[in-house]
A and B are shown apart, each in its own frame.
Chain A
Amino acid sequence: MEYKKTIGIEVHVELKTKEKLFSPSINSYGSLANTNCNIIDLGYPGVLPTLNQEAIDLAIRACSVLNCKIRKKMHFDRKNYFYPDNPKNFQITQERTPIGYDGYVEIDDDGVKKKIEILEMHIEEDTCKSIHSKERTLLDFNRAGVPLVEIVTKPCIKTSKEATLYLEKLRELLLYAGVSDCKIEEGSMRCDANISISNTDSLGVKIEVKNIGSITNVGLAIDYEGIRQEKLLQEGKTLKEETRRYDAKLGKTILMRVKETGNDYRYFPEPDIPYLILTDEKIKEVEGNIPTSSSIRREKYLKAGISLVNVEKLIANKDLSDYLEEFTNINLKTASNLLLGDIQAYLNKTNKTIKDTNLTKEKMLQIVEKLDTNVISNKNFKDIIEDVMETDKSVSDILELKGIKNVVDNEMVLDIINKVIKEQEKVVKDYLDGNDRSLKFLMGQVMKESKGSVNPKLANDLLIETLNSKK
């Protein structure tokens, strides 16, 4: 029998709440170190936890979109272990009564649908962030107490492809339900993979690869582990349970620690937080507030004639998709081309989000309309994008200031074309002889002659028409 992989995935997702899980400190990313923490987050003597209802609501949402059953009566537990990033030296989590259980995420593996089963989902607090340097370790308590849900699959994943499809789908579901930002690079989504291989019916030795930096790397880490473990087994070596990390630069997993037998966390029920009862009404109310799912948007985009590739790009870029949702009456196809093309390039270049720019709804509508009616060209937009994004000026003002006047008058364009054809007799002949590259040159001359003021698409069409009439 050949070796087969068995994979289980654990994902930590930070809940997008205003405040922390057990204290009123602000839950934010990227603030100055140790500015968003209070005595509760710091584990001061005498402090007690409160419970952030918004976190419970978001966890219910997560249960709902992941098809989990929801526990109606639950409590929290203390997980006791000493580490400097764990301010109380216990973490408040849910060991015995996870809020969600028995769920699934459906993936589509080249047309084959498969349910990836979710064993359980529990709520817990994040630790603080340790920044290690040679001589010392610095602690940033901004992250301490940020609400997390940990989502654990059953060991039912067979391939790296299934694993990455599951993670992409999971990310999309949670992102669109407003549960989390799911930004792996900022740590608001963290993936661990448990990989074992076996050539018998029983499971092999479980190797955990922790905190993998991207969904793609989860796939690579799984494949690497499969090969590494198989090689060791074929050499007659025995595997030990261990924790590894994936080094993306080396394309290898690296040993962190061998698992000691029976890690003793001395779990017991958190006495400072009473049992939490979730009524059916409460669950219904929360579920009623879940924002539009990605599948509804997907359908809408396809209907509007957006290409399949662009639909997926839009769904994957929720900021842009959300922006598009603000419009009720816009040409989705033109708008999505614009957003995924020049606008995204601009945002990437300037490291901004669309909300950071001055691209108001009105401006966006005007631009799309001008593009659709050939008043401006895509090239024109490239020329003015910085002004559109960075100033308060209207689109018309910007066009005027830049001296961009798109000539739409066919007669005027034809005059220019005819002038160019007359001047470039030799090139015209080349074109008529079948040299397509000559067209590009002629078009360049037209644009040069018009000082860029004609609509290139229109000019191109007219040029071809005129030339063809000479055939």
Chain B
Amino acid sequence: MNNYLDLSVVEIHDLLLQGKIKPIDLVEESFKRLNDNELNAFITIDYEGARKKALELEDMEVPKDNILFGIPIAIKDNIMVSNLKCTCASHILENFISIYDASVITLIKNVNMIIIGKTNMDEFAMGSTSETSYFKTPINPWNKNKVPGGSSGGSAVAVAAGITPFSLGSDTGGSIRQPASFNGIVGMKPTYGRVSRFGLVAFASSLDQIGPMTRNVYENALLLNAICKKDTKDLTSFETNEDFTKLIGKDVKNMKIAVPNYFVSEVVEKEVLDVFNNVLNKLREKGLTIDYVDVNHIDKAPILYQIIAMGEASSNLARFDGIRYGLKEEANTLEDLYKKTRSEGFGVEVKRRIMVGSYILSGENAKIYYNKALQIRDDLKKSFENIYKEYDLILAPTSSRPAYDVGLHKDNPLRSFMDDILVMHANMGGFPSMSLPMGKISGLPIGMQIMGNMLDEAKIYQLGSFIEKELNLNLKVGE
């Protein structure tokens, strides 16, 4: 079998245009790669639907201006695709079949990408390793003893293992960027409101955002182009009509970069900092200004995240009660139905977060914790905005260490949280942030993130593409 899926999407598009390959070739290659590796990256594989779609596309002329035509994509299993299961990696939705398309899926279908299947994840996106999945834990293709990161672990693995060039993830507190870092790929959390959340199963509504996960920066911008559109079904979505590739290749040497001291402090492992400093040095050599700065409240993000995300989650997950859809346990009374269904249906981590979230919103606690957290969140956002008044972008490592052993933190949720210590700020402020590979440590990829002000995705891609080119890592599993 040919390895068309190792080509860039521009090259694949050319082959499609020339009629040398057909979408079905790409789909079959995806399925073959998927089945050759037991990575548990997928929860649902849509053999029939993907093949049918590929054959339908044969009747169409390949449009010159649509590079994404006929390209396989994997979708995180908390995004609704009609007629496919949407499990959120939870027992409670194990047999739930979606009856509608999320708004991003409508857009994906509009550009005629081919959905291969639904990817594995932490249950309801709650976790940093994908180990809270009700199904088998996805495996890091770089080292099968290591976690793939999470919560969009399956989506990251699908791209890293070459199963699909594209995937969609969701990011509430780093869930796109951290697995991107652990798998050596590029993952973008766009500005809050850039991508419609309609059809994304809500975890923490004020933080959730869908984003693209890809092999490189340019392709990431391409996918973001396809999934951004103001959606009247999502009141938090905004007018957006921009070519995110427009600044790629433009000069970056006049850029002013801020590096918050906290992001390079002892919270990050030394090996990671060494790789990161190496990148900063290269950028300085190229003439970019890099300053170390202090940011107010920057250390408070994890605690804010716990309060806000869990408070919202406790409410968002209340709808899973066994009455209208999903798992329903036999019971004699209403209270019993709720109790049994939710006790059986949710995993330990999800239940823990619902309990904590309910406590946080209870009675006076709402004022002490939740309202206070919203205030500090505003302050945190403002302190980042102040940085962006003087600097173009912020750089930081994505994760404090590379992928670690499976099972290491299964019983230590707080330690897992601390892994996300560098990525939550973007969610708190609604800012865009992208992780891209910056090197390897002991054979494992490690990423760095570029954070920008609201709506500054194009600028992030501009610098990201530059760094990608300078580092010339070409990370590939097995090489």
Q: Is the CB of B200 within 8 A of A90?
A: no
**Would A80 and B361 be within 8 Å (CB), given that A43-B324, A48-B233, A48-B234 are in contact?**
yes
- Select from chain B the residue with minimum beta-carbon distance to A22: B235
Q: Is the CB of B361 within 8 A of A272?
A: no
- Select from chain A the residue with minimum beta-carbon distance to B363: A264
Asked if B95 is an interface residue, CB under 8 A from chain A, the answer is: no
Q: What separation, in Å, do the CA atoms of A267 and B370 have in the docked complex?
A: 10
Q: Is the CB of B205 within 8 A of A87?
A: no
Q: Is the CB of B321 within 8 A of A89?
A: yes
**Which of chain B's residues have a CB closer than 8 A to the CB of A274?**
235-236
- The segment out of B181-189, B279-287, B308-316, B470-478 that lies at the interface is B308-316
Q: Is the CB of A46 within 8 A of B314?
A: no
**Which of chain B's residues have a CB closer than 8 A to the CB of A139?**
323
Identify B319's interface contact among A43, A51, A269, CB under 8 A.
A43
Q: What separation, in Å, do the CA atoms of A269 and B312 have in the docked complex?
A: 10
8 shortest A-B CB distances, which residue pairs?
Answer: A89-B318, A266-B361, A271-B206, A271-B205, A46-B199, A45-B201, A43-B319, A46-B80
Q: What separation, in Å, do the CA atoms of A47 and B366 have in the docked complex?
A: 25
Q: What separation, in Å, do the CA atoms of A268 and B205 have in the docked complex?
A: 12
Q: What separation, in Å, do the CA atoms of A87 and B323 have in the docked complex?
A: 9
> Can you pick out 5 interface pairs between chain A and chain B where the beta carbons lie within 8 Å of each other?
A46-B100, A80-B315, A266-B358, A268-B366, A272-B235
The interface on chain A, measured as residues whose beta carbon lies within 8 A of the other chain's beta carbons, has a size of: 30
Q: Which of A65-90 contact B (CB under 8 A)?
A: 78, 80, 82, 84, 87-90
Identify A50's interface contact among B96, B197, B232, B366, CB under 8 A.
B232
Identify A266's interface contact among B232, B325, B334, B366, CB under 8 A.
B366
Asked if A42 is an interface residue, CB under 8 A from chain B, the answer is: yes
**Which of chain A's residues have a CB closer than 8 A to the CB of B236?**
272, 274
Shortest Cβ distance from residue B387 to the other chain A in the assembled complex, whole angstroms = 25
Q: What separation, in Å, do the CA atoms of A268 and B359 have in the docked complex?
A: 13
Identify B325's interface contact among A44, A51, A84, CB under 8 A.
A44
Q: Is the CB of B315 within 8 A of A268?
A: yes
**Would A39 and B235 be within 8 Å (CB), given that A46-B202, A266-B314, A266-B358 are in contact?**
no
Partner-A contacts on B (CB < 8 A): 78-80, 86, 88, 93, 96, 98-100, 102, 197-202, 204-206, 232-236, 311-312, 314-315, 318-321, 323-325, 334, 338, 358, 361-363, 366, 370, 374
Interface of chain A: mostly helix, strand, loop or mixed: loop
**Which of chain B's residues have a CB closer than 8 A to the CB of A39?**
99-100
**Which of chain B's residues have a CB closer than 8 A to the CB of A266?**
314-315, 358, 361-362, 366
Q: Is the CB of A46 within 8 A of B318?
A: no
**Which of chain B's residues have a CB closer than 8 A to the CB of A264?**
362-363
- Select from chain A the residue with minimum beta-carbon distance to B78: A46
Asked if A324 is an interface residue, CB under 8 A from chain B, the answer is: no
Identify B235's interface contact among A42, A90, A273, CB under 8 A.
A273
Q: Is the CB of A46 within 8 A of B102?
A: yes
Shortest Cβ distance from residue A43 to the other chain B in the assembled complex, whole angstroms = 5
Q: What separation, in Å, do the CA atoms of A84 and B338 have in the docked complex?
A: 10
Q: What separation, in Å, do the CA atoms of A211 and B205 have in the docked complex?
A: 34
**Would A268 and B232 be within 8 Å (CB), given that A45-B88, A87-B319 are in contact?**
no
Q: Is the CB of A268 within 8 A of B323?
A: no
Asked if A111 is an interface residue, CB under 8 A from chain B, the answer is: no
Q: Is the CB of A82 within 8 A of B311?
A: no
Q: Is the CB of B96 within 8 A of A45?
A: yes
Q: Is the CB of B319 within 8 A of A46?
A: no
- Select from chain B the residue with minimum beta-carbon distance to A90: B315
Shortest Cβ distance from residue B85 to the other chain A in the assembled complex, whole angstroms = 12
Q: What separation, in Å, do the CA atoms of A358 and B314 have in the docked complex?
A: 56
Q: Is the CB of A50 within 8 A of B235?
A: yes
Asked if A49 is an interface residue, CB under 8 A from chain B, the answer is: yes
Identify B361's interface contact among A42, A49, A268, CB under 8 A.
A268
Q: Is the CB of A50 within 8 A of B233?
A: yes
- Select from chain A the residue with minimum beta-carbon distance to B102: A46
Q: What separation, in Å, do the CA atoms of A269 and B373 have in the docked complex?
A: 13
**Which of chain A's residues have a CB closer than 8 A to the CB of B233?**
48, 50
Q: Is the CB of A48 within 8 A of B198?
A: yes
Identify A45's interface contact among B319, B334, B358, B370, CB under 8 A.
B319
Q: Is the CB of B334 within 8 A of A84?
A: yes
Q: Is the CB of A48 within 8 A of B315?
A: no
- Select from chain A the residue with minimum beta-carbon distance to B342: A82
Q: Is the CB of A268 within 8 A of B198?
A: no
Q: Is the CB of A42 within 8 A of B324?
A: yes
Q: Is the CB of B197 within 8 A of A48?
A: yes
- Select from chain A the residue with minimum beta-carbon distance to B237: A48
**Would A45 and B205 be within 8 Å (CB), given that A51-B235, A80-B361, A267-B366 are in contact?**
no
Q: Which of B78, B80, B93: most chain A CB closer than 10 A?
A: B80
- Select from chain B the residue with minimum beta-carbon distance to A23: B233
Q: What separation, in Å, do the CA atoms of A39 and B325 have in the docked complex?
A: 11
Q: Is the CB of B318 within 8 A of A45?
A: no
Q: Which of A230-249 contact B (CB under 8 A)?
A: none
Q: What separation, in Å, do the CA atoms of A49 and B232 have in the docked complex?
A: 10
Q: What separation, in Å, do the CA atoms of A78 and B204 have in the docked complex?
A: 14
**Would A90 and B202 be within 8 Å (CB), given that A48-B235, A266-B362 are in contact?**
no
Q: What separation, in Å, do the CA atoms of A304 and B199 have in the docked complex?
A: 60
Q: Is the CB of B366 within 8 A of A272?
A: no
Asked if A30 is an interface residue, CB under 8 A from chain B, the answer is: no
